[in-house]
Amino acid sequence: MAVSVHAQEPIHWDVVDQIMDEAFENSELMENASWLVDVFAPRNTKSPGYIAAAEWAAESLRSYGLSNARLEPYEFGVGYVNEYVSIHMMSPQYMPIIAYPATWSSGTDGKIQGPAVFMNFDEIVTEADLEPYRGQLNNAVIFTSPMRQLPPLYEAPATRYSTEQLNEMAEIPIGPQAARAERIHPREGKIPQQQVVEFVYDQGAAVLVRTDGRNDFGTVAVENTRYTLDNRLWDLNAPLRPAELVMATEHYNRVLRILEKDIPVEIEVDLRVTFNDENLNDYNVVAEIPGTDLAHEIVVFGAHLQSNPAGGGASDNAAGVVACMEVARIFKKLGLAPRRTVRIGLWGGHEMGVFGNKSHVANNFADPDTREYKEDYDNLSAYFNLDQGNGRIRGVPIQGNERLRAIFTEWMKPLRNIGMNHLFATGMEHEAYEDVGLPSFYFVQDRMDTRQYHSNMDAYDRLVAEDLMANTVILATFVYHAAMRDERLPRFVPAPW
């Protein structure tokens, strides 16, 4: 009889059963989601809504019985709040317009009424191309991008992975990771965009408007201001932050089609914003369940609490936050006593560059800039992250570390009937941890309706309670098993420095 030389990876079936009961029978996650998405949103960095959400989350974790629930400060920069936006087509007919400010847009100079002007920035090549607009732009609302064709939507916007698709994804061989996408500078051979932007404001323009380039039916995805050279708009001394609105494509196209008939269009716009520069700190929410015999070692799990400000940040990423909070609640409710310390992190400053996570990693594990290892570098077992929307978790990547395959295969056994049964050779790693060679895992989730992401319609109504409950069970099972096994999870990737 063959005898394995390795101890069997233990599965805590009884604990998973209890987690499953609590997660599905006594769930608090949809109520928590309503607080985050309905009451506190928008949760953009350092906004009053974000701070209120962070304080509420810390208080909730405290009430569950977690230790040391705290707001963890780190230096970020200037905060941004959209206080008010109102935009209307006044002539040739009246039409209320759906539009949202690009994040870190400036405001307009009060309520302004002026002409719509189509000025396709892509076709401004030389300074001579600016001349026809000189003297023409006072109070103008500048339409900067061409009309977008909107084809009919024949395919369902929300999909779940089929088993065949997951099997195919699981077989993708490990190869060199694709380089992170470079920011594209499409203006080669043209005068700089900044010069165009400065020209239109010198000429008295009120605001720049564009579409989001991907959505329709009144849905608008809103990212950071596009018409600036400085990508760090939150820096205290950031240069020009143009006033910039992202408009629903159907409304945008209507205005352009009227202009094509040489009929003037008048638009009224009032955009008010504030930049908060009194205190440059932003905050993560962190709390712990202290370990027992291995308390000095740590398992971290988390999700970003900050969200893009146009919508409620429901799928991105209240969905992840409430599942993480549920894991914490359930650990305490069931009286689980993990061997390692379990830490929950709800992170700030995410959409601008993962600042919350990076500060936590730099302060606790290793600083990629100074190349300094911190006390807990060797004590971290793993970081588990939820940030792929509101779909159900279907699998997790092993990041090329075959030793994890045997371990995770065992941990997934109790989760098969809730749809979690795939390991992928590679997948997304969390960049804050990856940058210092620490194991980190993004769970792979069903891709639900992508119109939600970063849009004005990322609302509570899109959350699917049963999926979030299943995600809670899966995350809790992984965190619990990581916290209980004899060894930390094996590391594979050497530190990159």
Containing 346, the helix (H) or strand (E) segment is: strand 340-347
Quick one: 50 or 201, whose CB is closer to Zn ion? 50
Token pair 């060679």 is found at 437
Q: What is the CA radius of gyration of the chain?
A: 25
**Least CB distance from residue 42 to Zn ion, whole Å?**
14
Judge whether 474 and 443 are in contact, CB under 8 Å: yes
Q: Does 429 bind Zn ion (CB under 5 A)?
A: no
Q: Does 359 bind Zn ion (CB under 5 A)?
A: no
Residue 431 structure tokens: 């960049």
> How far apart (Å, rounded) are the C-alpha atoms in residues 463 and 16?
24
Site stretch for Zn ion (CB under 5 A), options 97-105, 230-238, 272-280, 308-316: 308-316
Quick one: 387 or 467, whose CB is closer to Zn ion? 387
| SS3 state of residue 171 | coil
- Least Cα distance to 12 among 483, 393, 487, 495 occurs for 483
> How far apart (Å, rounded) are the C-alpha atoms in residues 444 and 166?
10
**Least CB distance from residue 316 to Zn ion, whole Å?**
4
Q: Which value, to the nearest 10 degrees, does the dihedral of the CA atoms of residues 66, 461, 452, 427 take?
A: 40
452 phi and psi angles, rounded to 5 deg: -70, -35
Sign, Cα dihedral of 428, 430, 435, 439: negative
Q: Does 316 bind Zn ion (CB under 5 A)?
A: yes
* Helical H segments across 203-307, by residue range: 249-260
Quick one: 387 or 458, whose CB is closer to Zn ion? 387
Quick one: 275 or 442, whose CB is closer to Zn ion? 442
Site stretch for Zn ion (CB under 5 A), options 118-126, 151-159, 385-393, 430-438: 385-393
**Least CB distance from residue 388 to Zn ion, whole Å?**
8
**Least CB distance from residue 383 to Zn ion, whole Å?**
15
**Least CB distance from residue 474 to Zn ion, whole Å?**
18
> How far apart (Å, rounded) are the C-alpha atoms in residues 48 and 82?
11
Q: Does 387 bind Zn ion (CB under 5 A)?
A: yes
Pairing type for strands 266-276 and 95-96 reads unpaired
Q: Does 458 bind Zn ion (CB under 5 A)?
A: no
> How far apart (Å, rounded) are the C-alpha atoms in residues 230 and 348?
21
Quick one: 220 or 319, whose CB is closer to Zn ion? 319
Instruction: Report the residue from 82, 139, 144, 317 that binds Zn ion according to the rule CB under 5 A.
Output: 317
Site stretch for Zn ion (CB under 5 A), options 230-238, 248-256, 315-323, 397-405: 315-323
**Least CB distance from residue 308 to Zn ion, whole Å?**
9
Site stretch for Zn ion (CB under 5 A), options 248-256, 286-294, 367-375, 386-394: 386-394
**Least CB distance from residue 387 to Zn ion, whole Å?**
4
Quick one: 43 or 241, whose CB is closer to Zn ion? 43
- Chain residues that interact with Zn ion, rule: CB under 5 A: 316-317, 387
